[in-house]
Amino acid sequence: MLQGPPGTGKTLLAISLAKAYKASYYIIDGSPDLDRRDIEGNWELLKGETKFNYGPLTLAIKDANNEGIAFIIINEINAIRENEQISLNSLLSENHINLISKGFEKHELNSESKLIIIGTMNKGVIGINKLQESFEDRFIITPEISYPLKNKEIDIASQISGYKKKIAEIVVDAARQIRKQAIQDYSITKIFSTRLVVNFCMLISLMPPKYLKHNIENVIINKLGTTTEEKKSIAMILDGKMFETKLKEELISKKTKLMSWECKLDKDSLDHLLTNTKACFTNYISKYGRSNAFRHNGNIM
Ligand SMILES: Nc1ncnc2c1ncn2[C@@H]1O[C@H](COP(=O)(O)OP(=O)(O)O)[C@@H](O)[C@H]1O
Ligand SMILES: [Mg+2]
């Protein structure tokens, strides 16, 4: 069970683990609307006949039995209603589930197979269910995930956004100052997450510098600040750090490699790209059929 503030990479860590094992994984997004039947599987009435749709739990058991290992990742696990939490109990401790909607049919994990269940939850978020003690107890390890150390966070932001380290440094520095203030006197209630650091770095690398001010306002100030006071105090911290000025300098400095927004496609590359895209699309339609390529509203699947 991974616990910690939002946007600290809990889900990413869980997915990365599953990928490292080359295992199949199923993600369940916890919400109070989630029904036991959604995660176990449910019956559907189709043209007068009923058909059982397997849910993520039953599919994961099947995969684990076939392939030796599978993962179930349950995001925001504490948003799941207490009754539905119970349905996971027998899987966690006794390696099987009894399907409520299928006459309590038993689905069991082979003794030599591994099914790894990772729950993630945002600590300290108000207004959601408590985890049942019996349920929480069944998770073997419950590490606290927190924000990375400064240099690590800079590495993460520059690696993921593929952007200059100096820019990541400026953004991380501001993020940490805003976090500090949030913890000190609660004058800022939303936390500047690593996710936001990464997203902001990516965004400014994709857009010309003339949008910088607009991006700072909309992506940082308005997003983190709920009240006018909060917005003011975030803006003040950013000003104190000369956030916009420093970033602008970096963005327009010619020492930088070509920015994404400066890259222009020449005509040949564009023609090549279009021809390839059309070929892929035609191929897709011939393979899956026109009716499967479009949704009912006309969007392409
Ligand atoms: N420690 C980290 N390492 C790498 N990327 C991170 C880290 N923390 C946050 N991120 C970035 O933030 C995004 C969202 O993280 P996520 O796993 O959804 O957070 P959480 O589940 O804790 O809310 C990731 O896709 C990644 O881009
Ligand atoms: Mg998450």
Give the three-class secondary structure for 37: helix
Q: How far apart are the CA of 267 and the centre of ligand 2, in A?
A: 41
CA of 194 to the centre of ligand 1 (A): 6
Q: Which atom of ligand 1 is nearest to the CA of 147?
A: 1
209 lines ligand 1 (CB under 6 A): no
Question: Of residues 262 and 160, which shows the higher confidence score?
Answer: 160
* Ligand minimally distant from the alpha carbon of residue 12: 1
Average pLDDT over residues 242-268: 76
Higher local confidence (pLDDT), 18 or 280: 18
Tell which atom from ligand 1 comes closest to the C-alpha of 193: 9
pLDDT at position 236 is 93
- Asked if 61 and 109 count as a contact pair (C-beta separation under 8 A), the reply is yes
Whole-angstrom distance, CA of residue 72 vs CA of residue 89: 14
Centre of ligand 2 from the C-alpha of residue 119, in Å: 9
- 175: pLDDT strictly greater than 80: yes
C-alpha dihedral (275, 205, 231, 249), degrees to nearest 10 = -150
| 135 vs 58, higher pLDDT | 58
Average pLDDT over residues 69-98: 86
Q: Is the pLDDT of residue 101 over 80?
A: no
pLDDT at residue 250 greater than cutoff 70: yes
Residue 243 in this model has a pLDDT that exceeds 60: yes
Mean pLDDT of 72-76: 94
Q: What is the pLDDT of residue 129?
A: 62
194/185: higher pLDDT: 194
Q: Which is the closest atom of ligand 1 to the Cα of 156?
A: 4
Pick the CATH number of 2-137 from 3.40.50.620, 3.40.50.300, 3.40.50.450, 2.40.50.140: 3.40.50.300
Average pLDDT of span 175-186: 83
The ligand 1 atom at the shortest distance from the C-alpha of residue 13 is: 17
Q: Please list the alpha-helical segments (H only) found in 138-266.
A: 150-161, 165-185, 194-206, 212-215, 222-224, 228-240, 243-252
What is the whole-number distance in angstroms between the Cα of residue 7 and the centre of ligand 2? 7
**Among the bound ligands, the one closest to the CA of 144:** 1
Query: Looking at the predicted structure, is the pLDDT value of residue 72 above 50?
Result: yes
Beta-bridge partner residues of 49: 46
Please check the confidence at residue 27 and state whether its pLDDT lies above 90: yes
Ligand 1 pocket residue status of 59, Cβ below 6 Å = no
- pLDDT recorded at residue 296: 65
CA–CA distance, 209 with 261 (Å, rounded to integer): 9
pLDDT at 47: 85
- 137-144 average pLDDT score: 84
pTM assigned to the model? 0.77
**In angstroms, how far is CA 140 from the centroid of its own chain?**
23
Q: Collapsing DSSP states into helix, strand and coil, what is residue 2? A: strand
Beta-carbon-side half-sphere exposure of residue 213 (alpha carbons within 13 Å): 2
Question: Any idea which of 72-76, 102-106, 200-204 has the lowest mean pLDDT?
Answer: 102-106
